[in-house]
Structure 1
């Protein structure tokens, strides 16, 4: 078999290869140069398979570059993206090797950049960051190294800001419940128990006895009405349990019940 024509496509950098007067397959300019394809060149079926596979790899590489042009990506993200475009693992593997060699993909550097960005622009703590990086396929050692970009001092400052917002949100709750909800809120954001405790300490919150008593009577009155049809002893027990769950102390609850009786 012989290449009888090489025609440029309308699409820049792509060429159609004709063999023995008939269109046979397309190639990129990169593959055209790589295999030194030219008119009147003798070619075999085995060579065509090698060339067309190289062209698929070239397509996958350019697809990956386009994907990377928007933002940094992890290896797992690139693999998933190329798989979605129906490239095979055998085609994806050399693409990743090339991207690594050129420094276009590096999971450790990606993780470092991700940690720095999240630390500065969001309210997420290390545990949430770790979960997100795992989903992106970053290895544990790389995650651990990357989290050094989010030191204790920065975590504390971020968690204090979150704790201040939560304290305002839950300021009408019983003091014990307020503290617990602030702590749970920090846990949900991905901060450790150590950071959460220190952040709350930094707020210097103190129990407001007048407000606590006011909330006890407001919430207690609602609970009493809810169980007013029950016998006195049973009603008192229900009230006692409900108020305790809301964070009031047993001494305060007993005093309230005595007042109601």
Structure 2
């Protein structure tokens, strides 16, 4: 049986080593692999031994790559699998994942807890978005239910009213429409009806300036097309759709009748 020699071992600047073999094969290894597999100049080995070394070095590379990937931020097991699978065979990926789990570098319970705390403390997102994010990472269903339940239990009226006040500053319109739009907004943020019910809507909100603006805009749009009772009905319906109360609309309509003939029926 022909033996294969290690012809040259050359160190790179980044701490890796290039190893050249007499059969033309080459590999790049970390120092740990160099020492573990005794990759020194003039060492001889069989083809089977070289094959085993190549497989072991692939495992070492994958393990180091996973550690580097984790060092940037906490990762789920599914994230690491996808990342390693882009370059390494499944048997290598599975072995590396098993080692990372045993060493507690990968822990989906810990990942889920960290994500829950981040969403709770640094965003205004709700538990439904946490559930969606954890499912996207293929987290175990029991963990998802537990963490979302914990998140839900920590939501209080202070959090919900803080979100309301933030949206309130950007809104210009009727109070009723604001309430409806806020509920829609909260659903997209991952909240449920029970969270919406925590919000206090008793604070002062003067919708009069917005009513006057919307009424004038609507009147300008309709007055050239409609008159009399038809105009009145269309104005009432349009303003009601915008969330304004019937009494407020009728009061304004009465004032307008004294100022314009647009609401007079044609004879």
TM-score, length-normalised on structure 1? 0.83
Paired positions, count: 251
Aligned counterpart in structure 1 of residue 66 of structure 2, from 60, 64, 70: 64
Compare 220-229 and 172-181 and name the one that shifted more.
172-181
Deviations 1:16-36 (A, max 9, x none): 1524xx442326354455556
Match of 2:178? 178
TM-aligned CA deviation for residue 183 of structure 1: 2.5
Q: Distance in 2 between matches of 1:205 and 1:163?
A: 11
Following superposition, the deviation at residue 257 of structure 1 comes to 2.6
TM-score (norm 2): 0.81
Instruction: Tell me which residue corresponds to 1:167.
Output: 168
Separation in 2, partners of 1:176, 1:168: 15
| 1:18 match | 21
Provide structure 2 residue ranges, at least 5 long, that are not aligned to the other structure: 258-267
On the 8 A contact 2:8/2:19 being kept in 1, the answer is yes
CA positional deviation for 1:64: 0.7
1:123 and 1:189 in contact (8 A); partners too: yes
- Matched with 2:264 is none
Output the CA distance in 2 between the equivalents of 1:169 and 1:215: 13
**1:218-244 residue CA offsets vs partner (Å, 9 max, x unmatched):** 321221111112232332222122101
CA RMSD in angstroms, aligned pairs only: 2.6
- Unaligned ranges ≥5, structure 1: none
Equivalence map 1:25-174=2 (5 Å): 25-26=26-27, 28=29, 29-32=31-34, 34-35=36-37, 39-44=42-47, 46-84=48-86, 86-170=87-171, 172-174=172-174
